[in-house]
Amino acid sequence: MTEHYPAPLRLYVVRHGETEWALTGQHTGRSDIPLTAHGKDEARALKPWLAHIGFDHVWVSPRQRARDTADLAGLGFGAQIEPDLAEWDYGDYEGRTSADIRRERPDWSMFKDGCPNGESPAEVCGRADRLIGRLTDLSGNIALISHGEIGRALGVRWIGLPFVTGEHFSFSTASVSILAFKQDKPDVRVIEVWNVGPALSAGPQ
């Protein structure tokens, strides 16, 4: 009798398509900013990339821009809203750009300092670690439709890097990153693919 083992866990972290604030570099946390027309095209372009994978679960941030990206990318059916995938709560810095903030605080870093009246780095790190802990109880291919900062947080915490290193990772709109395990060492977590997508002129991985 053939034994069947669960498929290895692979996390496909997808950032939502372009919004007006993503285009201008304004921090977008709680604000429910919709996709631009170009952002919708970016999300649609993901569909042929992802259609062949076969996802066992799809988890989506509660924000409109993520939910619409999931729908346009062909992942909306059966998707589960996951509050822990919501973007960083920027508090007083909501809607502001990093350049504007640094005129007041030249040494400010999101991943080091957080946001007044918003989430601290420790809180977002804790949220990412909690989410990863839940995901590692699952198996197979899982799509996570989320945002820029929380996506970076998941990437660095997946491989055990200090949270502050997240500021060194780019995560473009409508891009895909794959978090998985090393084939010859299944207890070692790896970033298999980072920040690729149709809009970045790279082929599917």
Catalytic residues: 16, 87
CA distances from 148 to 2, 3, 8, 13, 195 (A): 43, 40, 25, 10, 10
**Is 174 exposed, middle or buried (CB count within 10 Å of its CB: 0-12, 13-18, 19+)?**
buried
Q: Which residue has the tokens 């946390």?
A: 29
- Residues 88 and 150: their CA atoms lie apart, in Å, by 6
For residue 191, list its beta bridge partners: 179
Three-class SS of residue 59? strand
- Residues 39 and 109: their CA atoms lie apart, in Å, by 27
Reference 89, options 60, 119, 64, 62; nearest CA is 119
